[in-house]
Structure 1
Amino acid sequence: MAGAALEPGSHVKKLAKDASDFAKFPDKSKLPQKMFSWQEVKQFDGEQGRPMYLVIDNNVYDFTDFADVHPAGPGPLKQHAGGDASAAMRAARMPSAVMDVFIHRFKVGAVDKPRNAEFEIMAATQYRLADVQARNGKLGAPIWIVYKDSVYDITSYVDQHPGGDDAIKAEAGTDATSAFQDVGHSDDATTILAKLKIGEIIEEEKKYDANGKKKKKVVAAKDEGTGRSCLNTVTCGLLG
C-alpha cells in the first residue's frame, strides 16, 4: 500500500544525500527536552494548524515544518501524526545515519511510559467501534482492525503481510478476531500484531472479558403472562 512506510527506499538515499535540506531547520534536540504522555502526543496530530508530532522508539519528534518538504510528500508523516511511527520506520529500513544525524534534530522529548521490548502495550487510549470502522484504508485513510477488543493500526504492515495485502484490506475497519484465529497465525504473527497496538475498545463495547473469553450475551426472559420482556423476576415485580 502506498505510503505505508515513512520512507520508500528510493527516497531514503535522497534524504541521506541532501543534508542541506535539514541544515535549514533549527536543531530542536539542543533545546530543553520534555516528557510527554501518549495522550499529549495524540493532540499534536497536525490537523487544523496544530503541530505534528510523531513517536519513534519512544522519542518524540516535531515534524511540523519538515512535513511539506518530506521527499515522499507530507502524507506518510500525516498518517502517523500524533502516534507511534516506530513500526513504519522499521519497515522503511531507515539507515541509522539518517536517524542519528538528520532526523535527530527534530527531537523535542520522549514519552513518559516507554513501550517495552516485548511491546506489551497497555495503551490508555480508547476507541469506539465506529472509530475503527472509519479507518478502513479507503481514500487514503489508515487501516485499523480490532482483535479481542484491542485496536491496531496495521497501515505500515500491509505491504509486509506474508499472505498478501488483500487479506488485510478485507478486514480493514472491522473486528478481525475471527479471521485472525481462523487462519491459525503463528506466535511471530502475534508478536508483530502487538507492536501495532494503539489502544482499546471502550468498555461498554467490549466483547471479551479480562481473561480473553468472549462475553455471554444477556438474553431477556419473557413473561409469558403479559408478553413483556424482563431481565429477572425482581424487575418484573417492580414493574407490576
Structure 2
Amino acid sequence: GVPFSQAVALTVVDRLHDIVGLGLIVVAVIAWAPLPAEVVTIGGAALSIRTDGRRVIAVAALLFGAVIVAPLLLGERAEMLLRRCLGERVARIYRGYLTGLAVVGDVPALLRASFWNLGVWWLYIVSMWALFHAFHLTEVNLWSAAVITCVLHMGLLLPTPPGLAGVFEAFVAAPLIVYGATPSSAAAYALTLHVVQVSVLLPLALVFLWRDGLSFRQALALGRHGVARSTDAEKH
C-alpha cells in the first residue's frame, strides 16, 4: 500500500546507503591498498588509479547530493515550483518522494541502517578473502578482496543479464588476473563465488517468503498490484 513515489524514495535511500558504504571502501582502497599499478591504460588512455579514482568519487558525491540533499533543502519551495511549471501530478509525485526521504531525518534509524550496511560490506569482503584460500590464491589478500569488491560492484552498475550471469564472473576474474592469478584459477574462483552467494541468498529469500506466508507467484502479483494502485492514485 506504499505509494510508488515513496517506494522510489526509500529505494534511493537504500541505494545511497550501499553507495556510501562502497564509497568508503573505495576511498580506503585508493588511499591505502597496494594496488597492482599506479597508472593503467584503457583504450589507449593512461589513467591514474588514485587521481582519477578521486575524481570518480567526487562526481558520484555530487550526483547523489543532487538526488538526496537538494530535495531535503528545497522542500516545499521545489514542490511549489514543480506545481507551477509541470502541474499537480508531478508535484504530488515529488511530495511522495520527500515523504520517503524523511527517513534521512531520523538520525537513530539512519545510524542503525548505516551500521548494518557497513557490517554487510565487511562480511562480503571477508567471505571473498576466505574463499581465496580454498583456491590457494597466494597473490591476493584482504586488501585485494576490497579492491575486487569495488571493481565488481561498479561493474554491476552496467546493464546485466538475469542472475548477473557472465558479468559477475568477468568483473571478479579480471582484477584477479591483474593481481597475477592464472586465467583458469580466476575464472574458477569467480564462478564458485557466484554460486556460493546465490546458495546463501536464495534460502534466505525463501525463509522470508515463508515467514510472510507468500509464494513467488503471490509476491510478484502483490508487486504488480501495488505499482498499478499507486500509479492510479497519483493520477487523481
Larger Rg: 1
Could you say which structure has the higher helix fraction? 2
Q: Which category describes the TM-score, using the shorter chain as reference length? A: under 0.3
Highest RCO, 1 vs 2 (Cα 8 Å, sep ≥ 6): 2
